[in-house]
Amino acid sequence: MNVIRTITFNLQLPDGGSSALLDTMRAYSTAFSASAQWGFENHTWNKVENHKATYKAVRESVPDLPSSLVQGARDCACEALKAGKCASPPERKPLAAMRYNQRVITVNLIHGIATIASVRGRIKATFPISEYHRQYLSWTVTTSTISFDKRKKVFYLHISMEHPDVEPVQEVKVLGIDRGIVNVAVCSDNTFFNSKQVKRVRSKYAHLRRELQSKGTRSAKRKLRRMAGRERRFVTDTNHCISKQIVESEYTVFALEDLSKIRVQKRRGVEFNRKLNNWSFYELEQFLRYKAEDLGKQVVLVDARYTSQKCSVCGHAYKGNREGSSFRCRKCGFQLHADLNAARNIAQAGISCLSRLSVNQPNVAHS
Ligand SMILES: [Zn+2]
């Protein structure tokens, strides 16, 4: 099985590039409509028949549209006819996304350059790439799509890529990871990710935010928005770093709390509510998943109930076991940092989750 992923880039176009791409989109829509109409009238989604019947006329009506794009528009129209079972003529907005095949676009992921065919010849666009995108250099590009955001007046390039699945790692070693506010991540192997820098930067932003909010002027609001962007980028960078360090460890399975399934439950603390509403926890989860997959490792999500109240030694679950950052079991007296105790519970839940999975897979050999 192949791993498939789509990444999106913000395109920067040379002078005249935007209007050339917009005209290309309109011409592409004209080509699409012609194929869609013919297929609808003749009750067929066959691409070859459609090509024979419409190609010449379409080329005449939009002479500047490169022939590969004419074919791309026809393929999209046929797929839409098939999806709608020819019950109605497929429609498309004049500035809807266009699909490009390799003949009409070249994408250079090392330098962030895309050469895009248009009704006015090839356009050389650039897009910002980061260290993170380097991992995709060995992937195969399957399709590229260009879309336009009317409100923001921005063009996007979406690249779908595939990569043969890496051999799954044989030995299983589970690491539990507790995500938190004070400590970004605490792992069951006693690793704490609570870099002083993260704390310093976040408290700096919190302070600035309070100051600006109390001013309430228009310029303060503008500054607040810009600051939110900077803070977000900082958190994203941090999440990249942490997830990279975690997946490159000796562990092969990473267990996290399943935050998506706990909205229904009522009894949970302040920390839990914060976890639920914090997008950066989800971001860390996504990054971990992507990076783990690339190494043939995996992420499992475990039931989030009691992870912070349960004793990781005797299993006694009691709300009063935890007080702030310290955990002390009322039954067996075990003491530990509360986040670390939670991470160990998550690791244990991960192990039992895996054994349930392997029971359902009869082909797995038990030695
Ligand atoms: Zn205990």
Stretch 65-83: mean pLDDT: 93
Ligand 1 centroid, distance to 343 Cα (angstroms): 15
CB 7 within 8 A of CB 48: no
Q: In this model, does residue 364 exceed pLDDT 50?
A: no
The whole-number pLDDT of residue 162 equals: 86
Residues near ligand 1 ion, CB 5 Å cutoff: 311, 313-314, 316, 329, 331-332, 334
User: Has residue 11 got a pLDDT over 90?
Assistant: yes
How far, in Å, is the centroid of ligand 1 from the Cα of 310? 8
pLDDT value at residue 365? 36
What would you measure as the largest C-alpha separation in the chain, in angstroms? 84
For residue 363, pLDDT over 90 is answered with no
Exposed (0-12), middle (13-18) or buried (19+): which is 172, by Cβ within 10 Å? Answer: middle
Q: Supply the pLDDT for residue 187.
A: 95
- Determine which of 263-272, 274-283, 296-305, 343-352 has the lowest per-residue pLDDT on average: 263-272
Query: How far does the centroid of ligand 1 lie from the alpha carbon of residue 178, in Å?
Result: 19
Q: pLDDT band at 289, cuts 50/70/90?
A: very high
Does residue 338 register a pLDDT over 90?
Answer: yes
Q: Is the pLDDT of residue 360 over 80?
A: no
How many angstroms separate the alpha carbon of residue 308 from the centre of ligand 1? 13
321 CA to middle of ligand 1, Å? 9
| pLDDT at residue 303 is higher than 70 | yes
Question: 302: CA distance to ligand 1 center in Å?
Answer: 21
Q: Which two tokens stand for residue 213?
A: 């909010």
Residue 253 C-alpha to ligand 1 middle, in angstroms? 26
CA gap 21, 302 in Å, rounded: 47
Asked if pLDDT for residue 1 goes beyond 80, the answer is no
Total Cβ atoms within 10 A of residue 281: 21
Q: Quick one: average pLDDT of 344-365?
A: 71
What per-residue confidence (pLDDT) applies to 215? 85
pLDDT at position 206 is 82
How far apart are the CA of 351 and the centre of ligand 1, in A?
19
Q: Residue 362: pLDDT above 50?
A: no
Question: How many angstroms separate the CA atoms of 358 and 366, rounded?
Answer: 9
Q: Name the nearest CA neighbour of 161 among 107, 117, 103.
A: 107
pLDDT in tens, 86-127: 888 888 888 999 999 888 999 888 888 999 999 999 999 999
CA of 174 to the centre of ligand 1 (A): 22
- pTM across the whole model: 0.53
Provide CATH code, domain 174-194+248-359. Answer: 3.30.420
Instruction: Check: CB of residue 166 under 8 Å from CB of residue 153.
Output: no
* Cα 268 to averaged position of ligand 1 atoms, centre (Å): 20
The CA 123 to ligand 1 mean position distance, Å, reads 66
Q: What local confidence, expressed as pLDDT, does residue 129 receive?
A: 85
How close is the Cα of 332 to the center of ligand 1, in Å?
A: 4
Q: What is the C-alpha separation between 196 and 209, in angstroms, rounded?
A: 20
Q: 311: CA distance to ligand 1 center in Å? A: 5
- How much distance in Å is there from the Cα of 319 to the middle of ligand 1? 13
Taking Cα atoms as reference points, which of 97, 89, 98, 84 lies closest to residue 34?
A: 89
Q: Region 190-217: what's the mean pLDDT? A: 81
Mean pLDDT of 334-359: 87
Binned at pLDDT 50, 70 and 90, residue 132 comes out as: confident
For the chain, what are the domain ranges? 2-164, 174-194+248-359
Query: What would the mean pLDDT of 218-233 be, rounded to a whole number?
Result: 85
Task: Report how far ligand 1's centroid is from the alpha carbon of 3 (Å).
Answer: 42
pLDDT (tens digit per residue) in 14-61: 999 999 999 999 999 999 999 999 999 999 999 999 999 999 999 999
159-179 pLDDT tens trace: 988 877 666 556 789 999 999
Give the distance (Å) from ligand 1 centre to CA of residue 323. Answer: 15
The confidence band for 221, taking pLDDT boundaries of 50, 70 and 90, is confident
Distance 272 CA to ligand 1 centre (A): 22
Mean model confidence pLDDT for the chain: 86
- Cα(306) to ligand 1 centroid in Å equals 13
The answer to whether residues 213 and 201 touch, using CB atoms and an 8 Å cutoff, is: no
Quote the ligand 1 centre to 339 CA distance (angstroms).
Answer: 15
User: Ligand 1 centroid to 336 CA: how many Å?
Assistant: 11
